Structure 1
């Protein structure tokens, strides 16, 4: 079904915001420029821009133009939330496309096997997924699931929420070990995420443990850097002397 013209304009601008081509603060094309580009009336362009503003993508400033304000995900490291929940929290429709699946021997991935406490004779589910928001690429995840913990995979669930699939199997997240870093995209990632070579990716590597504190998941996810913000709260333990001083204040 062919898109209406105002929807075509919205998709054009959304795609550039989500890919990072139009970063936060970027001034998008003027109404006149968009009219000329898409061969439409000012009314059609205004409808598209107002819809983007209502959805939180842009801020329209009278006499100045339209500026990108989001959306981007602010993820707290204090508790576990899935990609699906992260996007839904900012009003973005999450999606997932399975690019590859293999059932492999643990001995072929010794680092993963060690992290998941598997023997050489055990097996792994390995799959690659393209994660999307409003049908626009946001991230690529490379996942290994222990076949000891997860004997079978529901492939339809991988197109929506892996967490939901695991919960239905009575596998619940207890804790995770994270390693966060920035990196440049590979040629394959650039093509899948529809980004330029200068776009920074945010790598989230983590190992997830179930309710029995057994590791079952080993994942590398590469997000378009402008789309995800991680909030990390840390605290410093008081020394015994400081604690005594604090107690004295309230005596």
Structure 2
């Protein structure tokens, strides 16, 4: 019975009957409406919380939270493409843009000599004006030697991958990515509008062009309460 109640509530959330920030009926109301025990109604709400659909807090009840963005791990896509698919408006806030010298680790990822010039871009990625992730990007010289550097205004108004393709003539065709869980530090939590302690998903990605020449190395910190990652599996 609890699963039927949970499904009814999930459907109501999907249809917009309960919007993010609004409270679902409490256990007492669910007991009366469905003629079940408190244990059953609590199990239904526990399930929705485990699914990431609601947040249960003492004194506030069961609050509908913003839906998670499901991102496939087998496809290289830009943040703006991910948001557009879900009907969300992407925007960007560039915190810094500078030429710097590649550290040994960044140089290894980009397969360039240590202390080669790289373009460092620090941005906050937003969807419908809500912070979703931070990104610290390093671009290899091939990305800006001929086209010059983008401006902060350009980066705040468009996709970085779009700029690479249209202005630099560099199309990213593939990459390698590693994702791990972590607790956000003070700066990251503040940037993402999170209260500490807060979980984040840390993504390390190296992307290359059609010649498999590395162009981008980026570290992204995604809000764990707004993102989930999917990958297809096959049994050999």
Supply the distance in 1 between the matched residues of 2:208 and 2:111 (Cα, whole angstroms): 11
2:75 is the counterpart of 1:75: no
Matches within 5 A, 1:3-152: 13=21, 24-26=53-55, 67-68=63-64, 70-106=66-102, 109-120=103-114, 122-151=116-145, 152=148
Specify the alignment match of 1:235 in structure 2.
234
Specify the alignment match of 1:61 in structure 2.
none
Q: What SS does the corresponding residue of 1:111 show, helix, strand or coil?
A: helix
Supply the distance in 1 between the matched residues of 2:53 and 2:210 (Cα, whole angstroms): 39
Q: With structure 1 as the length reference, what TM-score do the two structures score?
A: 0.66
Specify the alignment match of 1:158 in structure 2.
155
Specify the alignment match of 2:15 in structure 1.
none
Structure 2: tracts of 5 or more residues without a match: 1-19, 23-51
Structure 1: tracts of 5 or more residues without a match: 1-11, 15-22, 34-64, 238-251
Count residues in correspondence.
183
Q: What SS does the corresponding residue of 1:115 show, helix, strand or coil?
A: helix
Cα offset, 1:88, TM superposition: 1.6
RMSD of the TM alignment (CA)? Answer: 2.5
Deviations 1:197-249 (A, max 9, x none): 12200011110011111001000000110111111113243xxxxxxxxxxxx
Task: Could you list the structure 1 runs, at least 4 aligned residues long, displaced by more than 6 angstroms after superposition.
Answer: none
2:165 corresponds to which of 167, 171, 189 = 167
Q: Check the 8 A contact 1:173/1:211 in 2, yes or no.
A: yes
Deviations 1:19-61 (A, max 9, x none): xxxx522369x9xx9xxxxxxxxxxxxxxxxxxxxxxxxxxxx
Q: What SS does the corresponding residue of 1:85 show, helix, strand or coil?
A: helix
Q: Which has the larger radius of gyration?
A: 1
Specify the alignment match of 2:40 in structure 1.
none
Specify the alignment match of 1:38 in structure 2.
none
